[in-house]
Amino acid sequence: MTIILIVDDNKDLRALFKLILNNFCIFEAENGIEAIEFFKNHKPDLILMDILMPEMDGIIATQKILEIDPNAVVVAITAYSTRANEIIKAGAKEVLKKPVRKEELLRKIKEYTVEA
């Protein structure tokens, strides 16, 4: 089963993503530090990464995750598209703008994972 890590400081948004992605094995992190720790231990198939978060933002977390595994798949999801270039330079595959439509999210997951 495809393992997806949702990294966002908004608890309600994480809950919404979990509902939308109920056919996948979903884990959550509320900041970049938690995301890196989860990644080290579980190597998810896909990471949905917010950019602006407390403790450590998504740009730094993406860089650190890709230092651990250059093949990690990070897709940024953010309301702050002005920082999209920064997370792409950090190694994210692409940036989806909030609010993300369910169909678009599922299509991107299928595009970036084998089992989806």
Rounded CA gap, 116 and 108, in Å? Answer: 10
pLDDT in tens, 97-111: 998 999 999 999 999
pLDDT in tens, 34-72: 999 999 999 999 999 999 999 999 999 999 999 999 999
Predicted model pTM: 0.94
Rounded CA gap, 82 and 64, in Å? Answer: 21
How many domains does the chain fold into?
1
Q: At 64, which CATH number?
A: 3.40.50.2300
Q: Indicate whether 115 pLDDT > 70.
A: no
Residue range(s) defining the domain that contains residue 71 = 3-112
Tell me the two tokens of residue 25: 């094995």
Rounded CA gap, 102 and 4, in Å? Answer: 15
